[in-house]
Structure 1
Amino acid sequence: MRPRTTGEVDLDTSVFRLDGVTKRYGDLVALDNATLDAGENEYISFLGPSGSGKTTLLRVIAGFEAPEAGRVFFNGKDITNLPAHERGIGFVFQNFALFPHLSVIQNVSFGLTHGKSGLNAAEIERRSLEMIEIVGLSGMQGRGVDQISGGQRQRVALARTLTMQPKLVLLDEPLGALDANLRGRMRNELRAIRERLGVTFVHVTGSETEALAMGDRVVVLDRGRIIQIGTPGEVYGSPASPDVAHFLNRFNLFEGKLAKGTFTGPFGAVPAAHAVRSDRDIYAVRYDRMQAVDPSAPVSGPAIRARFVASEYLGSSVMNFFEAGDGHVIEMEHHLSLGAPQTFEPRQDYLLTWNPEQAIVFGREVA
């Protein structure tokens, strides 16, 4: 499958480009003919399940892994065979990779102090303190890294990378160690840093919410292949395959049969004039597009009978869980900005219905 793309970058102005990159570990194909490019001051999110190739792709760009096939370009130069330390690309490791015997500021300034920055001690300290402030650690510069939390150590690692002022920063699950409040704050701060410094960020995450919130473009990977590239709005609103819809964790997916413009599933036969080509016949309905009504109520569109199981309050929305007769769990989301949520009787049956024009149909038989 060729990945669906929007807003493709002019190759003459791209910061980095991958052309047909393949990476294997024995019989395992970690990357399969990956092609991708990124422009200046762009934020790209890599999204996919564990083992999809996200981190391997980062490591190939950084130079920690060599591809068996394909080329890697950075700032217009072929760097496929260039050692990692000569690429000028920043990398924030998932395990922090800090020096435990050094203080926060000593870790942050390490690259400037021991590299070829040409800066004097006062300028190194100024730049390091600026980055410490940007990542929200002001006042902690003198502490040892064993005296701060895991989330704070993650931010030290980010500040250390940014002090080198790279044109490209690779972030491997950078928010994974942070609590929910700090994750929200750091999302905004990372984007502000990118815009302020004119840096391109490539951000690996297994969180669909994080990928959509952070990226100017989202790259979805599965089993070593890039299966969709697009803006967050396109990926969320028009997933290119059932797998993408599944990774987004925002769609109910129903198996069935697409034939002659009609999809037949557990809800009966529904017109499906427009479908996305796929190797499977799948009918997808977003959680927030579904409604529940009394089983005796008349409905004009498709509907499926399901028993209410439980509700979950998420702050800005409420998730309701229903179980169909075949055991399929169906989720329905209500945004509280639209008003008070419905209440449902435990273990009672309801009809779940939706506007078929808002569904996405995937199928092998596409006109």
Structure 2
Amino acid sequence: MVMDHEKQRARYVAGTEGAPPVPPPGGYRNARRQSGAVTPPQYGAPAPAATATATASEAKKPANALGWIALVVGILFALILLITLAVGATDTLYGVTMLALQLVVVAVIIGTLFTARGRTLAAVALGITLVFNVATVGGIGALQTSASGSYDGMKSEEQKHEEAYPGIKGTDPQDALQQQSLEEVRSEADGLFAEIRERITAEYGYEWVQVGDEDLRPERNGYGGESMLVEYTSIGWATTEPIQDYSTKLDVMATIDSVVAEHGLPPLYSFNGEFSGIDPTMIAKLYGSEDPREQHTWEYYTDNYPDPMRLYANIYDLSNDPTGDFLKTREAQNARTGEPLEGLQMVVIASAVLSEDDQAEFEEKLKDYPGFQ
């Protein structure tokens, strides 16, 4: 019996090397178990300081009046700069008054940055001032002035007077009064186009489509301003079908040549032809080849000098574009204007023309410019 107890005891203590004995299977008799979750003790956690509570309380306080003043001042200064830019007073942006005002604004903002309750609003005001200041807004104004050429603040009265010259420097203003008016050019172009379209359709069966709209671009007067003259670009016309046969191209141009002759214009001049006077290498570069049979573009021209009207008649032929480079050019043009990729196209351009409605005013203004041209 004693041996049994010794064996049982040895089972618990064998190999423990001095450690407390493990409990018997099933645990000790009448042992109590702790109910609920056991929360491990926390060591080293500091007790909340009274200063932390005070800091949180201070953080919840609203910004002081100085912070709002800095923000409002920054916004008002930005608005002043933008309004000055909008009215075109570029010189004012670099004036002593504006620079002094900017220094005051910066001083207010920087001073507010050192206050705990105004620091946030001051930072916002500083950001606004960094974006809208004399340097940035003044730079935008300088670029705008450079693009438009309006340096009014730096021009003398003589320069401003020259800028308003109604004619074009280097040309006799009487030429604009003696040559065809804008309305006469438009009327002649419309009549010329109508007859050419009718003849081409009757003889070759080609139909037509309008390309683009009429465009009037003011001509510069050579003194930094705009003259009263305009460059006229007519509505364009194009055939809806390609013209690729060499003989047909020659016949079509001959038909146009006969029509312009009936209108008193000189014969068509071929820029792409061998007798154009252009270097053959340049012809190949511009039109795809020196040989008209292999060219992707034929360009013909005539005018009614000394009147300003110029007629251009071009034939585009993509069958003579082995590399596909010219096709890309035509596709880009088609995307801009909607014109057909191939076929015959015509347009009239007239430079430095004066509208009949402006002739009286033009002559009146010329009285202030004796000897100008």
Per the normalisation by structure 1, the TM-score is 0.21
Larger RCO: 1 or 2 (CA < 8 Å, sep 6+): 1
**Rg larger in structure:** 2
